Amino acid sequence: MRRICLTLTMIWAAAWAFAQEVLPPDPAIERTIQNQFEAFLADDLDGAWAYASPNIQSLFQTPERFGRMVRDGYPMVWRPGQIDYLDLQTLGGLIVQRVQVTDRQGVVHVLGYQMIETGAGWQINGVRLLQAPQVGA
């Protein structure tokens, strides 16, 4: 599991080295991310799994493994408080939606959601913590 996370982090780090371009908001991307948040809140692992890209699904193999990784590694995604959609960017050819999540303890996290468009619509191809947590005001 750690090896998978390390590999994904290295891929993202390489993408951040490239120029960034801000794109107009895309409601379909925001809806995909929101739907996955709602599935996690409802403990609907199959529903959350449906928004994960084929790459993520091949890495984790089952909705249960995927859910465990999110619960243990991204508790602010598993049980978010407030969710705010920031900007949509291209980073080295990747499409990344920045999302600010204030967890239930008032800690603010900025996450980057790498998105890919598939025949099934937009799917989440990875999530990265972009900013160290800060206590909300």
Residue 78 CA to residue 59 CA, distance in Å, equals 19
- C-alpha 18: how far from its chain's center? 20
Residue 73 CA to residue 1 CA, distance in Å, equals 10
pTM for the full model? 0.82
Domain annotation covers residue 137: no
- Looking at the 3D structure of the chain, how many domains does it have? 1
Structural domain of 123: 2-132
pLDDT tens-digit series, residues 83-118: 999 999 998 889 999 999 999 999 999 999 999 999
Domain annotation covers residue 104: yes
Residue 128 CA to residue 5 CA, distance in Å, equals 10
Domain annotation covers residue 20: yes
Domain annotation covers residue 120: yes
Residue 103 CA to residue 10 CA, distance in Å, equals 26
pLDDT exceeds cutoff 70 at 4 = no
Domain annotation covers residue 126: yes
Please tell me the predicted confidence (pLDDT) of residue 21: 85
pLDDT exceeds cutoff 70 at 77 = yes
- C-alpha 80: how far from its chain's center? 12
Q: What is the mean pLDDT of residues 8-23?
A: 61
Please tell me the predicted confidence (pLDDT) of residue 44: 98
Domain annotation covers residue 62: yes
Domain annotation covers residue 98: yes
Mean residue pLDDT of the chain comes to 88
Band (23; pLDDT cuts 50, 70, 90): confident
Please tell me the predicted confidence (pLDDT) of residue 73: 94
Domain annotation covers residue 54: yes
**What is the CATH number for 70?**
3.10.450
Q: What tokens appear for 63 in the block?
A: 């909705």
Q: What is the mean pLDDT of residues 13-32?
A: 77
